[in-house]
Amino acid sequence: MLQPGFYDVPRGMIAAIVTHLNMTTLPDPRPVRPVAGAEITHCVAPDIDWYRDIYRKVGGTDWLWFSRLALSDEALSLILGDPAVSVHVLKIDGVESGFFELDFRTKGRCELAFFGLVPNAIGTGVGRLMMTAALREAWARPIDEVWVHTCTLDHPGAIEFYRRSGFVVTGREVEIAADPRLSGVLPRSAAPHVPIVE
């Protein structure tokens, strides 16, 4: 068991506090104001290059999303081609502005595996629109739980956004991983608020 105190993060690594949240019933929908030009579409078996591109636009510049970028083409294709994985893209006036991904591969559960907006869409109200669509899609299937996790490398408002959407916090972990900017998975300029320690 860890004792209170400080612990070294090795050089070349990053550390994050991961917060897990879930919901066991579909909450009452929150009021959603219309967003002109916004539409959400289901992408069936998305192309991996397209997926990596929107993944980078949403999470690879500011928030150090890297897990899917580090996968081989084969591994990523297996996930995206699985009928139990559902990817949906948000467009505003035809411009891709966010996406969410639902993972039903565990029976009775849905993971909101990814959820995010491009930087200039944050704070416009489309996040609530997209979450309403995500929860509607998730609970349309026979499940008992929707769960999601976020971390301190993500948008600082993410936890409260999920809580307002009906999720409750269930636990926390510390994750240590190789810094994806040092391996070239992400550019060194990504997430400038997180220092690179070589």
Q: Which domains does the chain have, with CATH numbers?
A: 13-26+37-178 (3.40.630.30)
Residue pLDDT, tens place only, 83-105? 999 999 999 999 999 999 999 99
Distance CA 90, CA 76 (A): 21
Q: What percent of the chain has pLDDT over 70?
A: 100
| 105-134 pLDDT per residue, tens | 999 999 999 999 999 999 888 999 999 999
CB atoms within 10 A of CB 161: 15
User: Which pLDDT belongs to residue 6?
Assistant: 93
Claim: this prediction has a pTM higher than 0.75: yes
Evaluate if residue 2 carries a pLDDT over 80. no
> Half-sphere exposure of 181 toward its Cβ, with a 13 Å CA cutoff?
20
User: Quick one: pLDDT at residue 32?
Assistant: 83
Phi, psi for residue 178 in degrees, rounded to 5: -65, 140
CA 27 – CA 174 distance, rounded (Å): 29
Angstrom distance (rounded) from CA 89 to CA 97: 8
Q: Give the mean pLDDT of 168-196.
A: 96
pLDDT at residue 1 tops 80: no
Classify each residue of 62-100 as buried b or exposed e, where b means 16 or more C-beta atoms within 10 Å of its C-beta. Answer: bbbbbebbeeeeeebbebbeeeebbbbbbebeeebbbbb
What pLDDT does residue 144 have? 98
Q: Identify the weakest region by mean pLDDT among 32-41, 75-84, 105-114.
A: 32-41
